[in-house]
């Protein structure tokens, strides 16, 4: 990995950011007193700075080393190499293969909401399962859990994660159109506009009195979701916010 080091911070170097990306930078990282621009190859840059060479594996290794266990409600999300002696229910995931390690606020809030609302035996759908984390959590809570994802590539990872955790939610490539409800709970960590479009499908997928747990919603876009759900006759039950991220619970 080739790193171009520039003196300054994101604010003072803001004007150079588009140029760095135009020249092929794959990512920028702020370090004390400098910004590191990561390039796939070394090239002549019309900017003041110096090159640093890093072995390709360093990034991944450093990231793996820094990854901490995450507590969310009754769960702790661990990487396979973490040791944990607490009483929490463990969810062990190989990180980095698909979205959903528990480190994102939205996943954490969804885990906490599942723990509050899922009862054993309920049918739970995790729409956009990614790593499978929410379907795995629902299965650990005793639900008859199912997870689908539009991206076929994540499913083998989700299945492997389920296996490591000793649960067997049904996991498959798919979207809301292909599922066969009705579900008692539908959890989805997507984004506000998509929740808006899917609102009529959410109503069809849930049983009467069923609950929607929706996150991935930026606070400024929350009205899109609320308006779409309320137009479908859903009633608000709960709202949580962490940083700029919102989680909403609605009941059909």
User: Is the separation of the CB atoms in 33 and 24 below 8 Å?
Assistant: no
From residue 207 to residue 226, the character string flagging contacts with ligand SAM as x (rule: CB under 6 A) and all else as - is ---------x----------
Contacting range for ligand SAM; rule: CB under 6 A; set: 19-27, 113-121, 145-153, 163-171: 145-153
User: Is the separation of the CB atoms in 182 and 210 below 8 Å?
Assistant: yes
Contact flag: residue 110 with ligand SAM (CB under 6 A): yes
107 appears as a binding residue in the annotation: yes
Name the minimum Å distance from CB 194 to ligand SAM: 6
Contact flag: residue 129 with ligand SAM (CB under 6 A): yes
Contact flag: residue 189 with ligand SAM (CB under 6 A): yes
181 appears as a binding residue in the annotation: no
31 has which bridge partners? 34
Per-residue DSSP letter, 199? H
Widest pairwise Cα distance in the chain: 63
Contact flag: residue 134 with ligand SAM (CB under 6 A): yes
Q: Compute φ and ψ for 190, nearest 5 degrees.
A: -120, -120
Q: Please, which residue, 13 or 127, has the CB nearer to ligand SAM? A: 127
| 133-140 helix and 105-117 helix, angle to the nearest 10 degrees | 20
Closest CA to 67 of 38, 106, 104: 104
Residue nearest to ligand SAM (CB): 128
For the segment 147-166, give every residue that binds ligand SAM (CB under 6 A). Answer: 148-151, 154
Contact flag: residue 77 with ligand SAM (CB under 6 A): no
Alpha-carbon distance 144 to 184, whole Å? 10
Name the minimum Å distance from CB 223 to ligand SAM: 20
Contact flag: residue 61 with ligand SAM (CB under 6 A): no
57 appears as a binding residue in the annotation: no
Is the backbone of residue 8 left (phi > 0), alpha (psi -120 to 50) or beta?
left
Any residues with CB less than 8 A from the CB of 55 and at least 6 apart, and which? 1
37 has which bridge partners? 4, 28
Closest CA to 241 of 219, 220, 226: 219
128 appears as a binding residue in the annotation: yes
Q: Please, which residue, 122 or 188, has the CB nearer to ligand SAM? A: 188
Q: Please, which residue, 39 or 245, has the CB nearer to ligand SAM? A: 245
Q: Please, which residue, 16 or 202, has the CB nearer to ligand SAM? A: 202
Given the rule CB under 6 A, which residues bind ligand SAM? 99-100, 107, 110, 126-130, 133-134, 148-151, 154, 175, 189-190, 216
Binding-site residues, please? 107, 128, 149, 189
């Amino acid at each position: 990995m080739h790193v171009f080091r520039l003196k300054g911070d994101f604010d003072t170097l803001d004007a150079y950011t588009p140029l760095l990306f135009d020249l092929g930078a794959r990512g920028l990282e702020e370090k004390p007193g400098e910004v590191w621009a990561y390039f796939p190859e070394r090239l002549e840059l019309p900017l003041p700075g110096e090159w640093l060479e890093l072995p390709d594996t360093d990034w991944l290794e450093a990231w793996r080393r820094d990854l901490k266990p995450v507590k969310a409600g009754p769960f702790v999300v661990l990487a396979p190499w973490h040791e944990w002696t607490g009483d929490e229910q463990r969810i062990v995931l190989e990180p980095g293969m698909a979205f959903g390690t528990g480190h994102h606020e939205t996943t954490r809030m969804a885990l906490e909401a599942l723990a509050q609302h899922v009862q054993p035996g309920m049918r739970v759908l995790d729409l956009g399962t990614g790593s499978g984390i929410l379907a795995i959590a629902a299965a650990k809570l005793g639900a008859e859990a199912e997870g689908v994802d539009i991206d076929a590539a994540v499913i083998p990872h989700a299945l492997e994660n389920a296996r490591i955790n000793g649960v067997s939610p049904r996991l498959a490539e798919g979207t809301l159109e292909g599922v066969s409800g009705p579900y008692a709970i539908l959890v989805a960590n997507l984004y506000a506009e998509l929740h808006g479009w899917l609102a009529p499908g959410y109503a069809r997928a849930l049983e009467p009195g069923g609950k929607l747990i929706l996150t991935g919603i930026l606070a400024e876009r929350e009205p899109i979701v609320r308006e779409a759900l309320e137009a479908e006759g859903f009633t608000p039950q709960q709202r949580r916010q962490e940083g700029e991220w919102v989680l909403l619970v609605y009941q059909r």
